[in-house]
Chain A
Amino acid sequence: MAARPWRLILPALALAITLWLWALAGVLFVLRWNAVERPGPPLKELFPYGEMRVGVDASYPPFAAATADDLFGLDIDLGRAIAERLGVPVRFVNMGYDGLYDSLKADQVDVVISALVIDYSRANDVLYTIPYYNAGFVLVSRADRPFTTINELSGYTLAFEFGSDADTLARAWLRRIPPFETRPYELPAYALDAVRLGQADAALVDATAARLYGRDFPGWNMQMQPVTDSLYAAAVRIDRGKTWEAINYTLQTLADDGTLAALVERWL
């Protein structure tokens, strides 16, 4: 019998089209469902203790730090802003980094807002919100010689802090791209000074260090090009989906109306 491949292809095509149509119908249904405004669950259901308990490691300025009787920083302001929008009192629980995820599991807190980098290995335990800050590495250069990719470094000089993660990253790059000259300094600020004073073409520092340096030298038109991501997000216990939804939605509205950007600008 002669092979007639269309007899195999046509049914498979029909099946694929049918499945796609079902998938499309499903997406349209979900979109429509989400578009309908419904009253959210009562706050008592979202926060059973009558307050939003926020886990924070207050040893991490400018995100969270402590004085004798108060906490301050971007994460603290963000927690307060979210609680205010939700209309619920907020209480911060200060703890070490090691205890942050366990505190969710043990129901010591409702949410952790503590410069947590999204970690996919914890996806079975927690739900992360949308990111609110990117603390990854940036290439800093002068306006007259901006760098947009690491490949452009070839033949130029790169400054960084000795022994830092930037040092490790630069050594890894040296194995992958054409050579560039490295200039290790004792402090990240010295690496940035080297660029500003023309002793290096670019500096590799984390975004927070670059932003804080920029505040000290507002007249310097420095160029910042992100080269790695380190996304900070809040985390909620995985079985507290409604709480996560409320916090995530609120965080999104804070981002949309510019409140989040203003908070970041205030601290960084």
Chain B
Amino acid sequence: MVKPRPFSVIIQTMLKLRSRFWRLFRVYWLWFVRAGIVWLILVRLAPAPPRAPLGPQQVVETVKPQVCVHTRLIDEVYEWKIQRSLQMAREMGADTVVEFFPWAYAEPARGQYNWTSFDRIIKHARNQGLHIIARMGLVPAWAREDAENSTLNYLPDESFDEFAAFVAAFTGRYAGVVDHIIIWNEPNLSFEWGYRAVDPAGYARLLEAVYAPAHAANPNVVILAAPLAPTLEPPGSPNGLNDLLYLEALYQAGAAPYFDALAIHTYGFTEAPEAPPAPDALNFRRAELLRQIMEHYDDPARPVYITESGWNDHPRWTKAVRPSLRVAYTVNAFKWAEANWPWLDKLCIWALRYPISTRSYPDNFTLLTADFEPKPIFTAIQAYARGWQESDDLWLPAPGG
């Protein structure tokens, strides 16, 4: 007699079980149907995600129209969080928000646009009475060579026209609603330029490619040249290029006719907002050096938008200050800009809130926690923007004097 192998025994057992199951199903099929109905009812009873219906049209109450904040809404899953964020931006007294609108999200396949995620942000911003400055970037895989090994910031020259077509589609769709567009972000950093050597002439070509199609789609659109990362990287550095040198090179590359305004990123890092600017210092007033370059190239009438600014209060990061100083520096920065920078249109703080915590020091740039808990910096900016009196006694004196 041949002894059956264990594997065949298991197969036979499973076949027997299957036939027994079907026999039982034929007898008790009504109970299976009933169980299915109960399951369906239980699924329907599960709480639905919170809805975010548009409420009455809101108006921003502010006495400081320069106050603006950069939001991070595009990666929000829940619409109510988008609505809540924009509501809190309005309540803080900001009448404008900067938001990122990634090309990769809107055009996942060549020529096939999906505006859903953009629409839901824009409708809620309008409902809250907020203006939007839209930042464009992030390349879809189909527009990148070697998409597997390139980052989303890699935009080859051959795709400039494709990117321009997307920008034109965006400006046309949202004409009259979103009339300020930032083309790219910090192209003076190699990682923002897809890990290629930074190339001011290349970025000038990108502006040229975008400018005419965008204006054809929306004659009133204001094209903002990308804000540059504040950095002291020398020429030839693999990481990037000094923002002052980059802006000079951009003008020399003939970019001036292809942007209507300049976006600037200026962070205070560890210095007070009043600290004097210097070419070898990174501080809040570095914006004045960029402005001097504009004036040098006979470009004083062109407006400036500071689309990212602020201080960080992480306890470990070397470029951060204590939370108490962050509050004081930020409010004083608004006061400084109002008193001394007539060329400035908006001063936007980075950032209102992140959708989820980064679990590192970037979290300490935000004004709200991911759970919408206002930090003292939010309250301080709100008091400034809305003309409220704020308490001076925010903390206790040091123990032991």
Query: Smallest CB-CB separation from A62: which chain B residue?
Result: B316
A197 at the interface (CB under 8 A from B): yes
Contacts of A37 in B (CB 8 A): none
B373 at the interface (CB under 8 A from A): yes
Q: Is A193 within 8 A of B398, CB to CB?
A: yes
Classify the secondary structure of B's interface with A: loop
A61 at the interface (CB under 8 A from B): yes
Given contacts A97-B361, A186-B324, contact A163 B27 (CB under 8 A): no
The distance in angstroms between the C-alpha atoms of A208 and B315, with both chains bound, is 9
Q: Is B319 within 8 A of A190, CB to CB?
A: no
Q: Is B360 within 8 A of A163, CB to CB?
A: no
B318 at the interface (CB under 8 A from A): yes
The residue that A11 contacts in the complex, of B20, B150, B317, B375, with Cβ under 8 A, is B20
The distance in angstroms between the C-alpha atoms of A156 and B345, with both chains bound, is 49
The digit string for A59-91, where 1 denotes a CB below 8 A from any CB of B, is: 111010100000000000000000000000000
The residue that A60 contacts in the complex, of B149, B195, B316, B375, with Cβ under 8 A, is B316
Query: Count the B residues whose beta carbon is within 8 Å of the partner chain — how many?
Result: 48
Q: Is B399 within 8 A of A194, CB to CB?
A: yes
The residue that B373 contacts in the complex, of A8, A172, A183, with Cβ under 8 A, is A172
Q: Is A164 within 8 A of B323, CB to CB?
A: yes
Given contacts A14-B13, A61-B318, contact A107 B149 (CB under 8 A): yes
Query: Smallest CB-CB separation from B16: which chain A residue?
Result: A11
B74 to chain A, nearest CB (A): 15
The residue that A186 contacts in the complex, of B21, B364, B398, with Cβ under 8 A, is B398
Query: Smallest CB-CB separation from A5: which chain B residue?
Result: B28
A206 at the interface (CB under 8 A from B): yes
A119 at the interface (CB under 8 A from B): yes
Cβ-Cβ contact count across A and B, 8 Å cutoff: 122
The distance in angstroms between the C-alpha atoms of A243 and B123, with both chains bound, is 47
Interface size class on chain A is 35 or more
A187 at the interface (CB under 8 A from B): yes
Q: Is B318 within 8 A of A163, CB to CB?
A: no
A1 at the interface (CB under 8 A from B): yes
The digit string for A98-114, where 1 denotes a CB below 8 A from any CB of B, is: 11001101111000000
B374 to chain A, nearest CB (A): 9
The distance in angstroms between the C-alpha atoms of A98 and B27, with both chains bound, is 63
The distance in angstroms between the C-alpha atoms of A64 and B313, with both chains bound, is 18
Contacts of B317 in A (CB 8 A): 59-60
Q: Is B318 within 8 A of A185, CB to CB?
A: no
Query: Smallest CB-CB separation from A121: which chain B residue?
Result: B356
A184 to chain B, nearest CB (A): 5
B24 at the interface (CB under 8 A from A): yes
Contacts of A65 in B (CB 8 A): 318
The distance in angstroms between the C-alpha atoms of A108 and B149, with both chains bound, is 11
The digit string for B356-394, where 1 denotes a CB below 8 A from any CB of A, is: 101111111000010101011100000000000000001
Q: Is A230 within 8 A of B315, CB to CB?
A: no
The distance in angstroms between the C-alpha atoms of A208 and B239, with both chains bound, is 30
Query: Smallest CB-CB separation from A208: which chain B residue?
Result: B316
Q: Is B394 within 8 A of A184, CB to CB?
A: yes
The digit string for B131-161, where 1 denotes a CB below 8 A from any CB of A, is: 0000000000000000001110100000000
Q: Is B376 within 8 A of A162, CB to CB?
A: yes
A201 to chain B, nearest CB (A): 13
The distance in angstroms between the C-alpha atoms of A164 and B314, with both chains bound, is 8
Contacts of B151 in A (CB 8 A): 102, 105-106
Given contacts A95-B239, A163-B313, contact A1 B13 (CB under 8 A): no
B186 to chain A, nearest CB (A): 9
Contacts of A105 in B (CB 8 A): 149, 151
Q: Is B373 within 8 A of A206, CB to CB?
A: no
Q: What are the 4 tightest A-B residue pairs by CB atom distance, in nearest-first order?
A: A163-B323, A117-B359, A162-B395, A99-B191
Besides the known contacts A106-B150, A208-B316, 12 further A-B residue pairs in the complex with CB atoms under 8 A apart: A3-B28, A14-B13, A59-B317, A102-B151, A106-B191, A108-B195, A118-B359, A119-B359, A164-B313, A168-B375, A183-B396, A187-B398
Chain B residues at the A interface, C-beta cutoff of 8 Å? 10, 13-14, 17, 20-21, 24, 27-28, 149-151, 153, 189, 191, 195, 239, 313, 315-319, 322-324, 326-327, 356, 358-364, 369, 371, 373, 375-377, 394-396, 398-400
| 24 pairs of residues in contact across A and B, judged by CB atoms under 8 Å | A3-B28, A11-B20, A14-B13, A60-B361, A102-B151, A102-B153, A105-B151, A106-B149, A107-B149, A118-B359, A162-B395, A163-B323, A163-B326, A164-B315, A167-B375, A171-B373, A172-B371, A184-B395, A185-B396, A186-B395, A187-B322, A193-B399, A199-B399, A208-B316
